Amino acid sequence: MNKSKIFLSLFLFFFVAFSARSGNENLIQNPSGRNITTLNGKWNYIIDPYETGYYDYRYKPYDESTNPGNGAFYLDKKQKNKSDLIEYSFDKSPTLWVPGDWNSQDEKLLYYEGTIWYRRLFDYAKKSTDHRIFIHFGAANYESDVYLNGKKLGKHIGGFTPFNYEITTLLKEEGNSLVVKVDNKRKPEAVPTLNTDWWNYGGITRDVSLVEVSKTFIQDYLMQVKKGSENLITGYVQLNGDLNQQTVKITIPELKVSTEVKTDSTGKATFSIKPKRIEYWCPENPKLYQVEISCNDNTISDKIGFRTIETRGTDILLNGKSVFLRGICIHAENALRGGRAYSAEDAQMLLNSAKELNCNYVRLAHYPHMEKMIRLADEMGILVWEEDPVYWTIQWENPATLANAMQQLSDVISRDKNRASVIIWSMANETPVSEARTEFLKKLAAHARSLDNTRLISAALETHSNPADPNERIVQDPFADYVDIVNFNQYIGWYDGLPEKCDQIHWTIKYNKPVMISEFGGDALQGMHGDALTRWTEEYQEDLYVRTLKMLSKIPQFRGVSPWILYDFRSPRRVLPNIQDGWNRKGVIGQNGTKKKAFFVLKNFYKDMEIKYQKQR
């Protein structure tokens, strides 16, 4: 590659990395634990497939300084007299509920991909004149341009990660107009890309809040057991505001420990605390400690659990003890209403079902789920796999695509780094092996470890057949050398023969690492019955689960599994009438909430594994 190409690649990388968060402030940690005012509720919306509200007739963006135009939706103009020409009106437009996807709220938007403009009017009076106000979005799919009172706050790229902007100088006590342009179009260079197997829900899909903070406030913090230690708690605090040296106090009252540290010129301070004894967080005892961080008049509290996670040879060690991960895959969807999961009730429904299945672990696929889900997993004692939305085949050699993937990975690590339940950062799902792909994933893994070296790195890999032996399956992937746990997806008995084929399969896996099966399964329409050879019946799926679990148990390094999937979920790829009807039917629970026969096979297997590992301790 010549110098000009190298320069261009670097330019594109950093340009896109900046553009993905253009105008975006660094994330505020634990926004729900601060002084917040919700902007959830009914928002007016305008469907805009031609992006008329953003571009003029020459398809050039409106420029407020030279060509604001009466067609610029973000200005939220009103007709001042009968002669004014304004070709839109938020006031007369219908409403959508925020948070929520637009697809499930309006029948004509079920398959819609494009731009929708949201508008929310609000009043706000600060509690103190020197306080600062931020607006925080839990997520909006996929690209969002945010405007307050006609001024652009910034653009965010990434449909599943949070973002926030400071609005202190733009805020009025009455009559604020918040306009958000949300675009969920799939793009070849995006992450995820054009081809997925889930519904492309559009909209402002998670909470929107105003966050009021002091002039100098605690913006970010990290607190966890230091890698390689048993009871040394280390971390940092990052201030935003007056960056002169400040005193920060960190206290864990129940452990009767506290420390004071001084921030440096960037507003950051690191700390170490060594209690006499820590009661570790684990699924059987999800212990959370109240933590308080204070600086001057600014105090923030959080509930944080402490635990260790590592691998040793073929074992996964949680708090130094071998653990088998009894899991299930979950999409961020409430199947009962067929929409994106966004509420505490949605999280409770999904994780309660996983608990009933005897799970101690969930794989949250194929993108970051809502923060409520992670915090509830902390409280319920459920281990969590979180995943960057690098799915199937994307543009491996595009620097902009890599920058996008890295930014989304950074955002989810930043948001969830204090959550004890999170033990695995996953780089990708089912990505065919190539040199460019492997280099891409290696960069992601290195980036994740640079941000957090205390958790495990993995990815959902693929398997390969041996042409000389039709019953041999091989796990051999160059990226497996860079992960802590070798995970792979396999669908023997569904896409590869019938369930009885599982009885003949043997595996070649040469890695001296824990092996987990990140996906297996088959479709069944809940309530459809027949013999074990009839596709789409519960009996077929049940037989597949019985044979697959027996097959996988023969793998010496077998240390966990997360079948695909907990609930049936929407997918436009699944079109078989009267069976799929736009739903992927691999759930062990149907879209109506009724458990299929495979649910009980898995539940019993997990109970046996739980007893087995208890006896080993």
pLDDT per residue over 535-577, tens digit each?
999 999 999 999 999 999 999 999 999 999 999 999 999 999 9
pLDDT digits (tens, 9 = 90+) for 108-161: 999 999 999 999 999 999 999 999 999 999 999 999 999 999 999 999 999 999
Tell me if the bond preceding 499 is cis, omega within 30° of 0.
no
Among 29-33, 161-165, 239-243, 263-267, the range scoring the smallest mean pLDDT is: 239-243
CA 531 to chain centre: 39
Whole-number pLDDT of residue 333: 97
CA gap 560, 421 in Å, rounded = 16
Min mean pLDDT across 3-7, 23-27, 165-169 is at: 3-7
Q: Return the pLDDT at 69.
A: 62
Q: According to the model, what pLDDT value does residue 354 have?
A: 98
Residue 196 carries which side chain, given as an amino acid letter?
A: T
Confidence of residue 387 (pLDDT cuts 50, 70, 90): very high
Tell me which residue has tokens 């301790």: 617
pLDDT, greater one: 342 or 26: 342
Three-state SS annotation for 409-430:
HHHHHHHHCCCCCEEEEEEEEC
Residue 300 has pLDDT above 60, yes or no: yes
Determine the average pLDDT of the residues in 319-341.
97
Does the pLDDT at position 590 exceed 70? yes
The mean pLDDT of the chain is 93
Band (pLDDT 50/70/90 cuts) for residue 12 is very low
Comparing 580 with 242, which gets the higher pLDDT?
A: 580
Average pLDDT (335-364) is: 97
pLDDT at 366: 95
Give the other-Cβ count within 10 Å of 13's Cβ.
17
- What is the rounded CA–CA span in Å between residue 483 and residue 496? 27
Burial class (CB in 10 A: 0-12, 13-18, 19+), 265: exposed
For the record, the structure tokens of 302 come out as 């959080």
Give the span between the Cα atoms of 191 and 391, in whole angstroms.
8
Q: What predicted TM-score, i.e. pTM, was given to this entire model? A: 0.94
pLDDT at 20: 47
Instruction: Give the Cα separation of 542 and 601 in Å (integer).
Output: 7
Contact at 8 Å (CB) between 254 and 305? Answer: no
Q: How far apart are the first and last CA of the chain?
A: 55
- pLDDT tops 90 at residue 15: no
Q: How far apart are CA 542 and CA 596, in angstroms?
A: 8
Q: How far is CA 456 from the centre of its chain?
A: 16
Task: Kindly report each contact of residues 444-448 with a partner whose C-beta sits within 8 Å and lies 24 or more positions away, as own/partner.
Answer: 444/388, 444/390, 444/402, 444/405, 444/406, 444/409, 445/479, 445/482, 445/483, 447/406, 447/409, 447/410, 448/409, 448/413
Token pair listed for 246: 């400040």
Taking each helix axis as running N to C, give the angle between helix 371-380 and helix 344-356, from 0 to 180 degrees, rounded to the nearest 10.
40
User: pLDDT digit string (tens) for 432-450?
Assistant: 999 999 999 999 999 999 9
DSSP state of 321: E
Q: Could you tell me which residues come within 8 angstroms of residue 3 by beta carbon, excluding any fewer than 6 positions away?
A: none
Tokens of 183: 């675009």
Higher pLDDT, 269 or 17: 269
- Is beta strand 506-508 parallel, antiparallel or unpaired with respect to 469-474? parallel
The whole-number pLDDT of residue 68 equals: 59
Q: If you average pLDDT over residues 211-215, what whole number do you get?
A: 96
Are the C-beta atoms of residues 498 and 512 closer than 8 Å to each other? no
Beta bridge partners of 456: 424
- H or E stretch covering 605: helix 597-616
Q: How confident is the model at residue 66 (pLDDT cuts 50, 70, 90)?
A: low
Task: Flag the least confident range among 57-66, 336-345, 497-506, 605-614.
Answer: 57-66
Amino acid 16: pLDDT: 44
pLDDT digits (tens, 9 = 90+) for 230-259: 889 999 999 999 877 899 999 999 999 999
**Residue 457 and residue 465: Cα distance in Å, rounded?**
25
Give the chain's count of helices (H) and strands (E): 7, 36
